[in-house]
Structure 1
Amino acid sequence: MVTETTTTPKSSIIYPESDGQPMADNTKQFRWIVTIQGGIDSLFKEDPNVFVAGDLLWYPVEGNNKLRVAPDVMVAFGRPKGDRGSYLQWKEDNIPPQVVFEVWSPGNTLTEMTKKLEFYQRYGVEEYYLYDPDKIDLVGWIRNENQLTSIETINGWVSPRLGVRFELSEEGLELYRPDGRKFSTYIELDTGRQQAEERAQQEAQRAQQEAQRAQQEAQRAQQEAQRAQQAEERAQQEAQRAQQAEERANRFAEQMRELGMDPDAM
């Protein structure tokens, strides 16, 4: 007896774009996910071949739609930007995300996070960072000889792939770009934008005031020039009147001499 077995063609397998789980368990976790994802996306905005995503399902093996994980933030170098419903690795030149971030929430368990670490280890992640915003605790792993190994000193660590520096303070995790600028939340960015607009408006007002003062100075200088010109014209008129008076006196003296009188004796 021959038993026939059937297999589902890989091309007909559906890879769901949602696992039914929320992106974040609370506002704090969500804020950190958005801040990290947005900061990295901004950092590589000019590079068309760096794909950055948040809470996107990653399927590493074609034909297995159960094998998947949704990192809070993933970064794939060598892959074009663009919208995706999920990250199907075999359609991405088989390039796995090289850097992933997870933000610990109260709903996470040690078993769950251990499984994620094993997943990232098995499927080629080069850098993995796990941040607990409640405890202000950051741990990281980096691939060394095909093994994710713990980063001993994470405070001040610079990501080899991202060039981002990690600092821990009493307020929490701080991430700095290679140019020294700090990753900011949306509110911080909007506040900075508003302050920049206010400074620009103040500068424009000062420039306008300076232009008005310059215009007033120019008007005063023009008025002074006009007064000087008028004074010069008056002086010329006085000189002309003096000359005319002298000419009249000379003609009168000449007329007196013609009459036989000495004008100087009068």
Structure 2
Amino acid sequence: MVQELTPNTAPDIIYPDSDGQPMSDNTKQFRWIVTIKENLEILFASRDDVFVAGDLLWYPVQGNNKIRQAPDVLVVFGRSKGDRGSYKQWEENNIPPQVVFEILSPGNTTKEMMNKLLFYQRYGVQEYYVYDPETVEFTGLLRSTEQLEVIEEINGWTSPLMGICFQITTNTLEIYRPDGQKFLTSVELDRQREQERQQKEAALLELEQERQRYQDLLARLQAKGIDPENL
């Protein structure tokens, strides 16, 4: 006897947290993914309503675990921070990621990137950025009504949603925060913090030396019977 599945006995749909694909194909691609993701988290650290993630599976349609993408970096405005195994849009007030970054590697195919573009266009991405660190080719697309359209003047472009600015040099892409601070790698950030620490220590040492010089001068004057406070 074959038992028919009813709505109460139908198996739950599983939404895997991994698609089995590596986060990156090489160290350069990985470094760019981490740099953009970490710097965006720093930028929006004070905002509880901005969620940033890297290589996180996004499921836009409840009931279909085949419709999915794992952007290299995604940004969602209007959703709280916190850990997630995947981004199930129906559990997030049906808010899609508004910003997506893809960092190209030699393994990416034209068909793959076209499918990603169609996916992001269909499911509500507002800003889509694609960077190839090998060729320093940077492309941005901005939603206009129902479509993502190429930003013709991308060099010097400022993101409407994030406020960050993109500058293309002869050998790399540079990204700047609204306050003018450049996106840095973790090593560069650590080096910057160390330099700031050393500068602070040097300033404190100079202040202490100045205080000691004043005390020495005061002692010499007092030894000669001179009280500076009574002058």
TM-score bucket of the superposed structures, by smaller chain: over 0.9
For the structure 1 residues 219 and 126, does the alpha-carbon distance in structure 2 shift closer, same or farther, using more than 3 Å as the test?
A: same
Distance, in Å, in 2 between the alignment partners of 1:215 and 1:10 is 84
Q: Distance in 1 between matches of 2:150 and 2:9?
A: 40
Paired position in structure 1 for 2:160? 160
Q: How far has the Cα of 1:6 moved from its partner? A: 6.4
Regions of 4+ moved over 6 Å? 4-11
Kindly state the Cα deviation for residue 10 of structure 1 after the two structures are TM-superposed: 8.3
Q: How does 1:92-241 map onto structure 2 within 5 Å?
A: 92-225=92-225
Q: Tell me if the contact between 1:10 and 1:63 (Cα under 8 Å) persists in the aligned partners.
A: no
1:37 Cα deviation after fit: 0.6
The amino acid of 2:214's aligned partner reads A
Partner of 1:254: none
Task: Find the aligned partners of 2:51 and 2:71 in 1 and give their Cα distance.
Answer: 14
Task: Give per-residue Cα distances to partners, 1:23-42, cap 9 Å, x unaligned.
Answer: 11111001100111111111
Does the 8 Å CA contact 1:156/1:166 hold for their aligned counterparts? yes
* Count of matched residue positions in the alignment of Structure 1 and Structure 2: 224
Q: Which is worse superposed, 146-155 or 11-20?
A: 11-20
CA contact (8 A) 1:57 1:87 kept: yes
Please tell me whether the aligned partners of residues 133 and 172 of structure 1 are also in contact (alpha carbons under 8 angstroms): yes
Instruction: State the shift of 1:171 in Å.
Output: 3.0
SS of the residue corresponding to residue 189 of structure 1 reads helix
Q: Would you say the 8 A contact 1:126–1:148 is kept in 2?
A: yes
- 1:90 Cα shift? 0.2
Does the CA-based 8 Å contact 1:10-1:62 persist in structure 2? no
Supply the RMSD in Å over aligned alpha carbons: 1.8
| 3-state SS in 2 of match to 1:212 | helix
* Identity between Structure 1 and Structure 2 (%): 57
Tell me the TM-score normalized by structure 2: 0.93
Post-superposition Cα deviations, 1:116-164, rounded to whole Å, max 9, x if no partner, equal: 0000000000000000000001001110011111111110111110011
- 8 Å CA contact 1:127–1:140 kept in 2: the answer is yes
Larger radius of gyration: 1
Deviation at 1:107, TM superposition (A): 1.1
* Aligned mates of 2:26, 2:6 — CA distance in 1: 45
In structure 1, give the amino acid aligned to 2:89.
Answer: Q
Asked if structure 2 preserves the Cα contact closer than 8 Å seen for 1:100 and 1:125, the reply is: yes
SS in 2 for 1:148: strand
Aligned twin of 1:20: 20
Alignment partners' CA distance in 1, 2:90 and 2:8:
18
Does the 8 Å CA contact 1:49/1:80 hold for their aligned counterparts? yes
Q: Give the Cα–Cα distance (whole angstroms) in 2 for the partners of residues 169 and 51 of structure 1.
A: 29
Instruction: Give SS of 1:153's match.
Output: coil
Q: Secondary structure at the match of 1:178?
A: coil
Q: Which runs of 5+ in 2 are unaligned?
A: none
Structure 1, unaligned stretches of length 5 or more? 228-266
CA distance in 1, matches of 2:85, 2:11: 17
Equivalent AA in structure 2 for residue 172 of structure 1: T
Q: In the alignment, residue 125 of structure 1 is paired with which amino acid?
A: V
Q: 1:185 to 1:206 in 2, by over 3 A?
A: same
Deviation at 1:178, TM superposition (A): 0.8
Is this contact kept in 2: 1:128–1:141, CA < 8 A? yes
Following the alignment from structure 2 to structure 1, what is the Cα–Cα distance between the partners of residues 60 and 40? 22
The residue aligned with 1:74 is 74
